[in-house]
């Protein structure tokens, strides 16, 4: 699978750097806390930040395996890379959040409901934890 992603120009080999891995995990945890606090005031941003937490954890996973996203569609690259490590339902949720977040950030304000935002934050907590388990030896 990684060979295919490399051929498509979606990922690139990278020396494993523990600091990059740790920094991305720290960003993911920070984003979960921030997303949870945003639930009280802005559902769009709570959702967006929850998605970013998963994205950062996915990047940490890539770094831990000696890869980084490459090219113009880096968010898609991270989603596709995580397919190898997460179950299908988790990657479907991650990809749906990616698409919905894109719409919320670039097209329509106020598109996220309270229940969608709460679901996103809960999923971010679960997926970040699962991804960190894939990184741990």
Model confidence pLDDT, tens digit, residues 91-128: 999 999 999 998 888 888 999 999 999 999 999 999 99
The domain locations on the chain are 2-135
Query: What pLDDT sits at residue 2?
Result: 86
Give the C-alpha separation, 104 to 109, whole Å. 6
The CATH code of domain 2-135 reads 1.20.120.330
* CB burial of residue 77 (10 Å; 0-12, 13-18, 19+): buried
pTM over 0.75: yes
| pLDDT tens for each residue of 29-82 | 999 999 999 999 999 999 999 999 999 999 999 999 999 999 888 999 999 999
């Amino acid at each position: 699978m990684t060979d295919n992603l490399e051929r498509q120009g979606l990922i690139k080999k990278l020396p494993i750097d523990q600091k990059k891995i740790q920094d991305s995990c720290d960003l993911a945890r920070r984003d979960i806390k921030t997303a949870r606090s945003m639930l009280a005031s802005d559902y769009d941003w709570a959702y967006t930040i929850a998605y970013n937490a998963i994205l950062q954890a996915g990047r940490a996973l890539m770094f831990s395996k000696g890869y980084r996203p490459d090219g113009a569609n880096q968010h898609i690259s991270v989603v596709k890379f995580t397919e190898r490590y997460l179950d299908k339902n988790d990657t479907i949720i991650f990809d749906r959040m990616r698409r919905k977040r894109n719409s919320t950030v670039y097209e329509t304000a106020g598109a996220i409901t309270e229940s969608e935002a709460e679901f996103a934050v809960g999923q971010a907590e679960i997926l970040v934890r699962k991804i960190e388990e894939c990184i741990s030896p």
